Amino acid sequence: MRQALVKLELLRLRKSPVALAVLLFTLLASLYAVWSGVIWREHHSAILSQHEARVDAAMEKWRQTLIAFEKDGVKPPPFFDARPGAIEKSMALGAAPLSHLAIGNTELLPTRLNVSPARDHITMVELYGFENPTVLAHGRFDLSFFLVFVLPLLLIGLSFDVIATDRTRGTLHLLLSYPVSLGKIIAARLLTRTGLLLLLAGLSTCIGIAFSGSAGLVPGALWLLVFLAYSLFWVSAIFFVVSFVKRSEVAVGSLVSLWVLVTLALPALANSAAEGLYPQPSKLAYLSDARTAKNEAWKHKDALTRQFLDDHPELSVGQGMENEYFRAMYFTNKMVLEKTAPIVAALDDSNRRRSELLDTLQFVSPAIIAQRAFFRVAGSDFDTTQRFTREGIDALSALNNELETAILSSTRISVEEYHKLPDFKFEHARSNSVLADILFPVLFLLITSVFLVIFGFAGNRK
């Protein structure tokens, strides 16, 4: 009987132009989302490569000057050339294997750093923010948007009248005269309709994952897990609603209202709650603190230098003592780091608290769970971008520690010492750590779905 129901449903779908249009739209829109993401990733990766190439070229020139100086020995290069204070290392938030499926915060936050003792933690962020704010405010039509926002609507559009039509036409009693329960009829029809749609969306997702090659296999599996859990939630929600609501216009109204609540209203309220409960310390105040520190350091650089050399007289014997450009800059940056430490800590604390709040608030809306999980798997979540910035600051401190003696004593380092300096590469989170982060929310989605199905069957029995 169940097979007959499925076959009948497939036949009805084949003959319904609206259903075919919905299925075609699903395929085209999801493929467009993948394609748009791939185009973005290529553009983004090209920019990061350009950045690395620029820094590498500058450092190679720096290195060649130093090699020539070491070889000649006699004729020193101009003061500014091959100075340790001018060493710069690039650091980039590279595209994770599935970044093209969820652009997330990557388009919004800095992804290129220039780690150098000549910079502080603000100026090491390479100039960004050239995007058109109007376009940026609308966001991207990537696969995560398609799956979180559009797919539920398509599921609703295809299956809200899964049983109501029979009710209005009066054919329901005829159907129920067969040895099958109402719940099973709804379930069979719903699974046939949504199954086809999810198959098409899944196909696009797999195509999207395939763009990442073998590197995308494990994250791809995690992505599919989130996709299935979120889809299952919506299928169960539809099952629940159509089991209780008899008229199709009421069913579609209820489901669209649920969609508005889950994907628009609750995330907006959660956002406002997070902003209200844990307001971010003003970034403009942070900027002012940094400038005050810079001002103070410049005003007192002579005193700072004297104080330092009192403690380290061995460092007062370098070459080029007449020019204290790099030393003064180093002191300034160090002071900026020290003076802004409280506000940086407050910013970190605010971000952490918000993140923790969201860990709880996400359970009010499956859309938040799904979006956060997609971002996490794609490496475009807020925590990843924050970790990137933090690691950038750590890299700056590490490089400063390596070069401090040479900068303060105004001496050059050797080519050998230069080669020993660390490179700074940002690594995306490992899949097991991502799985640990998303597992509980995804389980919550699955459990909610099971409850919705159970209650739906109970509604049918009534």
Partner 1 sequence: MSAAVIVSKEALVSRRNSKVIALYLSVVFVMLAAIAVGVNRTNNFEAERAAAAQRDRDIWNDQGPRNAHKAAHFARYAFKPIPTLSSFDPGSIDYAGQAVWLVAHVQNPAEFRYAEGQGDLARFVTLSPAWVMQYIVPLVLILLLFGAYAGEREDGTLRQAMTHGAAPGVLFRGKLASASLSLLSLLLPISLFVLVAVFVFDKGASQSDLSLRLVGLFFTYGVYFAIYALLAIGVSALCSSRRTAAICLFVMWCMMTVLAPRFAADVAVTATPHPNGVDALKTIQDIRFGYMNNPEAQEQRKAEFLERYGVTKVEDAPVDFRSDFLLATEEYGNPLFDEYYAKIADRYHAQERSMQLLSVFSPTIPTINLSSGLAGADRYHHADFIAGAEENRRVTIRQLNEDLLYKGGKNAILYESDINLWRTIRDYPATMPSLGEFFPQYLKMFGILLLWAGAAFLFARWAAYRACNLEAVK
Closest CA to 231 of 335, 125, 370, 97: 370
Task: Please say which residue, 330 or 382, places its beta carbon nearer to partner 1.
Answer: 382
Q: How far is CA 310 from CA 306, 324, 403, in A?
A: 6, 16, 19
Fill in the per-residue mask, 235 to 254: x = in contact with partner 1 (CB under 8 A), - = not in contact.
------------xxx--xx-
Listed ranges 123-131, 237-245, 404-412, 414-422: which one lies at the site for partner 1 (CB under 8 A): 123-131
Listed ranges 8-16, 131-139, 307-315, 434-442: which one lies at the site for partner 1 (CB under 8 A): 131-139
Task: Please say which residue, 285 or 317, places its beta carbon nearer to partner 1.
Answer: 285
What's the DSSP call for residue 216? Answer: G
| 348 binds partner 1, rule: CB under 8 A | no
Task: Please say which residue, 43 or 173, places its beta carbon nearer to partner 1.
Answer: 43
Whats the size of the chain, residue-wise? 462
Selected from 89, 93, 145, 229, the binder of partner 1 by CB under 8 A is: 145
Segment 408 to 447, residues that bind partner 1, using CB under 8 A: none
Task: Please say which residue, 74 or 127, places its beta carbon nearer to partner 1.
Answer: 127
Listed in sequence order, the DSSP H helices in 150-300 are: 151-159, 164-169, 172-176, 182-210, 217-244, 248-259, 266-277, 283-299
Contact of 180 with 1, CB cutoff 8 Å: yes
What's the DSSP call for residue 119? Answer: -
| 80 binds partner 1, rule: CB under 8 A | no
Phi, psi of 222 (to 5 degrees): -65, -40
DSSP string, 402-435: HHHHHHHTT-PPPHHHHHHSPP----PPPHHHHH
Segment 153 to 172, residues that bind partner 1, using CB under 8 A: 153, 157, 160-161, 164, 168
Selected from 316, 351, 397, 405, the binder of partner 1 by CB under 8 A is: 351
Task: Please say which residue, 74 or 284, places its beta carbon nearer to partner 1.
Answer: 284
Segment 384 to 403, residues that bind partner 1, using CB under 8 A: none
| 328 binds partner 1, rule: CB under 8 A | no
| Alpha carbons 453 and 233: distance in angstroms, whole number | 9
Q: Which residue has the tokens 């020995």?
A: 73
Task: Please say which residue, 368 or 452, places its beta carbon nearer to partner 1.
Answer: 368
Listed in sequence order, the DSSP H helices in 245-340 are: 248-259, 266-277, 283-299, 301-311, 325-339
Q: Looking at this protein, which amino acid is placed at residue 92? A: A
| 113 binds partner 1, rule: CB under 8 A | no
| 149 binds partner 1, rule: CB under 8 A | yes
Tally Cβ neighbours within 10 Å of residue 345: 11
Task: Please say which residue, 218 or 358, places its beta carbon nearer to partner 1.
Answer: 358
CA 330 to chain centre: 33
Task: Please say which residue, 412 or 441, places its beta carbon nearer to partner 1.
Answer: 441
**With CB under 8 A, what is the number of residues at the site for partner 1?**
87
Task: Please say which residue, 172 or 269, places its beta carbon nearer to partner 1.
Answer: 269
Least distance from partner 1 to the Cβ atom of residue 308, Å? 21
| 267 binds partner 1, rule: CB under 8 A | yes
Segment 270 to 309, residues that bind partner 1, using CB under 8 A: 270-272, 274-276, 279-280, 282-285, 287-288, 291-292, 294-295, 298-299
Segment 13 to 72, residues that bind partner 1, using CB under 8 A: 36, 39-40, 43, 46-47, 50-51, 54
Segment 365 to 384, residues that bind partner 1, using CB under 8 A: 367-368, 371-372, 375, 381-382
Closest CA to 391 of 115, 120, 48: 115
Listed ranges 93-101, 102-110, 195-203, 303-311: which one lies at the site for partner 1 (CB under 8 A): 102-110
Q: Which residue has the tokens 């050399």?
A: 309
Closest CA to 106 of 78, 71, 140: 140
Least distance from partner 1 to the Cβ atom of residue 284, Å? 4
Torsion of CA 115, 117, 119, 121, to 10 degrees: 60
Least distance from partner 1 to the Cβ atom of residue 256, Å? 5
Contact of 205 with 100, CB cutoff 8 Å: no
Selected from 4, 206, 264, 454, the binder of partner 1 by CB under 8 A is: 264
| 109 binds partner 1, rule: CB under 8 A | yes
Selected from 17, 73, 78, 129, the binder of partner 1 by CB under 8 A is: 129
Contact of 46 with 150, CB cutoff 8 Å: no
